[in-house]
Amino acid sequence: MHIADLGDVQLHYRVDGDPDGAPVVFANSLGTDLRLWDAVLPLLPAGLKLIRYDLRGHGLSSEPPAPYSMGALIRDAEQLLDFLDIRDCMFVGLSIGGMIAQGLAVKRLDQIRALVLSNTAAKIGTADMWKQRVQAVNQNGIEPLADAIMDRWFARGFRASPDITLWRNMLVQQSAAGYAGCCSAIAGTDFYTPTSGLRLPTLGIAGSEDGATPPDLVRETIDLIPGSSFSLIRKAGHLPCVEQPAEYAALLSRFLDETGHIAKDT
């Protein structure tokens, strides 16, 4: 475990794989921490430098005063990559992490050479919806919302398994203020115009049973970027890297190969 002191925020991050390898950076969804990627990373090809981190107000990162702006979350990622001297990475962002990915690619194309936009969109929900979520969390915490969130996160089969408890616990143990702060960032974000200006290799991933960012919403955003590709993972909800890690890792591995991000003999 490591902490990057970026001034107004201290981000918990972890680096796995080859320290001299081609960098792949992972950004989490709202209400999770960097363990979101635990099942996928061991299935990826050798020779990669795998970087993941906790969003501000999540996991073991610090919790600056909320609310947060999307600009602040993008700046966190930008400063972390500068701190780690990362350039030309493949950036994998899921949900709010995918919004961060879009904003960072617009701002710092030197840092990102390829994008994976997973279960995300240029705009997610409505400002009023997120403001109501913020108000509910500030008043009563995350617990009252947890079961409904599990329904959006996971397909029916996974919700019937004992493992659902792990993810429900991860959600409710997040900081309520940090969670609400990131909800505020989503509320104010509409990236349709800037994302439509992106010109870099992009893979979109959706889950067939995603109740938060349905496949058509994901595809609509991916189609903004010329030359992008889209893949649908069946029997998966909002977190397909948890429910279908082998298929998720296979999609990432193929994209790594197609973009030349890793030598073909590794």
pLDDT of residue 262: 80
pLDDT tens string 147-205: 999 999 999 999 999 999 999 999 999 999 999 999 999 999 999 999 999 999 999 99
Q: Which domain holds residue 238?
A: 2-259
* Structure token pair of residue 101: 């990915």
Q: Give the N- to C-terminal CA distance of the chain in Å, as an integer.
A: 27
pLDDT of residue 263: 65
pLDDT of residue 180: 98
CB contact at 8 A, 58 and 76: no
* Structure token pair of residue 76: 């966190």
Domain-embedded: residue 266: no
| Phi (first) and psi of residue 136, to 5 degrees | -65, -40
Domain-embedded: residue 204: yes
The total number of structural domains that make up the chain: 1
- 192-224 as b/e: b if 16+ CB within 10 A: eeebeebebbbbbbbbebbbbbbbebbeebbeb
Cα angle at 259 between 256 and 265, to 5 degrees?
60
pTM of the model: 0.97
* Structure token pair of residue 72: 């602040």
pLDDT of residue 266: 41
Domain-embedded: residue 265: no
Domain-embedded: residue 252: yes
The domain that holds 233 is classified in CATH as 3.40.50.1820
Domain-embedded: residue 264: no
pLDDT tens, per residue, the chain with 266 residues: 899 999 999 999 999 999 999 999 999 999 999 999 999 999 999 999 999 999 999 999 999 999 999 999 999 999 999 999 999 999 999 999 999 999 999 999 999 999 999 999 999 999 999 999 999 999 999 999 999 999 999 999 999 999 999 999 999 999 999 999 999 999 999 999 999 999 999 999 999 999 999 999 999 999 999 999 999 999 999 999 999 999 999 999 999 999 999 865 44
pLDDT of residue 1: 85
